[in-house]
Amino acid sequence: MAVIHRTTMTPGKLELLASWLPAQPWNLGRGHEPRLAKAGGFRLDDPQGEVGIEFMAVTDESGERPITYHVPLSYRGAPLPGADHALIGTSEHGVLGRRWIYDGTHDPVLVAQLFALILGEAEPQAQSMSNVPDPSVTTHFSEAGHATSIGSVDVTNGPHGTDLRVLTASAPGLPSEAARQLTIRVNRVLRPEQVESTTHATQVLGHITADWLLPDGAKTRGLYAVVRDTAPE
């Protein structure tokens, strides 16, 4: 499991995100320089132990009302080939040295583990503690048993979030046509009221639900990601 090092990162993650956030199509705080605070999240382990994976919730308190964003992050010890457009920035880690920090929706390792989490095959980990599972992160997927991995990914970043259009590989013993084309919507703006209305909508096959903190310290809960069936073109 990933080890959380008690050290510094220069520049810090919030500093990098404050520079990166205004250019994102789902940013609602246009016209304001972000003032970010950590609000929660969780981690996943890379089976190869090479890539750090974090699903971070950050709250921008610069506008008239606070807005909490969901930013999947991947941390690498070397640049990810072909992903310059997804680079949030580099930072000097006090133990690991230079780290390349990416918008994780463009990182194949993070996306593969996100799908494994949806399938119930990856265990969510506490955001700031080593080797501590986070049972507050819950998942559901109605197609469990029909897919085992992702064959390809197409990423679309838009005003309502980031869509990962994935082609799944079918489980052993099932015909190849059992593979599915799915869309994983990574919710970028976290809203507690989304949970009931979204999970009961048509074509919703699964979801990931987790906690975050409101500016007053109260805990709330909502959808970090939603899985829908995607009709082939």
Yes or no: say if 57 and 212 are a contact pair by the CB < 8 Å rule.
yes
d(CA 122, CA 76): 20
What pLDDT does 15 receive?
A: 95
Q: What is the pLDDT of residue 229?
A: 86
pLDDT for residue 150: 78
Which residue has tokens 């080593």?
130
Q: Which pLDDT score is estimated for 233?
A: 46
Give me the residue label for tokens 């969510």: 124
For residues 30 and 173, the model is more confident at 30
Binning pLDDT at 50, 70 and 90, where does residue 112 land?
very high
Q: How far is CA 72 from CA 30, 52, 156, in A?
A: 21, 11, 15
The values of phi and psi at residue 143, to 5°, are -100, 20
CA distances from 195 to 61, 62, 88 (A): 23, 26, 29
The predicted structure's pLDDT at residue 147: 65
DSSP state letter for 112: H
pLDDT of 74 > 90? The answer is: yes
Q: Give percent of the chain with pLDDT exceeding 90.
A: 64
Answer whether 46's CB lies under 8 Å from 73's CB: no
Q: What is the pLDDT of residues 160-219, one digit of tens each?
A: 999 999 988 766 655 555 567 899 999 999 998 666 556 556 578 999 999 999 999 999
More confident residue, 127 or 175: 127
pLDDT at res. 145: 60
Per-residue pLDDT, 31: 79
Contact 103, 114 (CB under 8 A): no
Collapsed DSSP state (helix, strand, coil) of residue 24: coil
Q: Which residues contact 221 (CB under 8 A, 6 or more apart)?
A: 136, 192, 195, 209, 210, 211, 212
8 A C-beta contact, residue 38 and residue 118: no
Looking from the CA of 170 toward its CB, the CA atoms found within 13 Å total 9
- What is the model's pLDDT at position 200? 57
pLDDT digits (tens, 9 = 90+) for 34-67: 999 999 999 999 999 999 999 999 999 998 899 9
Question: Between residues 148 and 89, which one has the greater pLDDT?
Answer: 89
What percent of the chain lies above the pLDDT cut of 70? 84
Q: How many Å apart are CA 175 and CA 193, to the nearest integer?
A: 39
3-state secondary structure of 212: strand
Selected residue with higher pLDDT from 151 and 43: 43
The token duo for 212 is 């975050």
For residue 95, the SS3 value is coil
